[in-house]
Amino acid sequence: MYQSSRFKAAFEILEPIAEAGNPNAQTILGLMYDHGEGVPQDDAAAVSWYRKAADQGFAQAQFNLGAMYANGQGVPQDEAAAVSWYRKAADQGDVQAQFNLGVKYANGEFVPQDYAAAVSWYRKAADQGDAKAQSNLSIMYLMGKGVPQDLILAHKWMNLAAKNDNRQRWSRDALESLMTPAQIAEARKLAREWRKKEE
């Protein structure tokens, strides 16, 4: 019902399940309050439901709670709390949290700037097929930030990003203008091998 936008009916079914402690239902109620879907928009209620699920180790709720702290929605803005909740979700494999931590470390937001840590988090999300993380990882290799500069690996990751998101194709094409045909061929080979490994 939630996925088909029948929010009021979904809320009536989900609320007792969430009250009984189901973290998935709690997270969905958090989303409903967060976005005002079937209920009045209420950041504090969203935080309350996210926290119930996050305290049970539910990764999506941990990510969402981190975002609430990052933006100061329903709670006072708290950068350390945002990073802490992102890290808990990221450690469980949440792609959005891994990507966000990569951005935070790359830009020095909420944490000291650390390109090697940014690369590590981008790689975790990129290995799960996240196009934005693949693109950002490519840029790290292109610029030599957190890793030795490597045009072949930069192209490999941008090529994978372009396969997952057409909007990245221009970046791949621009990168190829910096490379020799042999480097491009090697990068494409690495990208093919990565995709086969993932299948």
Number of domains in the chain: 2
* The pLDDT of residue 162: 84
Query: What range defines the domain where residue 43 resides?
Result: 1-92
Q: H or E stretch including 66?
A: helix 59-71
- 168 DSSP 8-state letter: G
* The pLDDT of residue 191: 85
* Span 138-158, average pLDDT: 93
**Residue 147: what are its φ and ψ, rounded to 5°?**
-145, 160
Is the pLDDT at 199 greater than 70, yes or no? no
Same domain membership, residue 109 and residue 195? yes
Same domain membership, residue 70 and residue 144? no
Same domain membership, residue 194 and residue 101? yes
* The pLDDT of residue 198: 67
Same domain membership, residue 115 and residue 87? no
More confident residue, 101 or 162: 101
CATH number of 171's domain: 1.25.40.10
Same domain membership, residue 127 and residue 174? yes
Region for 108 from its dihedrals, namely left if φ exceeds 0, alpha if ψ lies in -120 to 50, beta otherwise: left
Mean residue pLDDT of the chain comes to 92
End of a domain among 59, 92, 125?
92
Same domain membership, residue 44 and residue 126? no
End of a domain among 30, 59, 92?
92
Same domain membership, residue 99 and residue 84? no
Same domain membership, residue 101 and residue 84? no
Same domain membership, residue 122 and residue 52? no
Same domain membership, residue 123 and residue 42? no
* The pLDDT of residue 80: 93
More confident residue, 53 or 167: 53
Q: Which residues lie below 8 Å from residue 31, measured CB to CB, with a gap of 6+?
A: 37, 46, 64
**Residue 77: what are its φ and ψ, rounded to 5°?**
-60, 130
Same domain membership, residue 20 and residue 86? yes
* Span 131-159, average pLDDT: 93
Same domain membership, residue 3 and residue 84? yes
End of a domain among 92, 112, 138?
92
Dig out the tokens for 18 from the structure: 């969430």
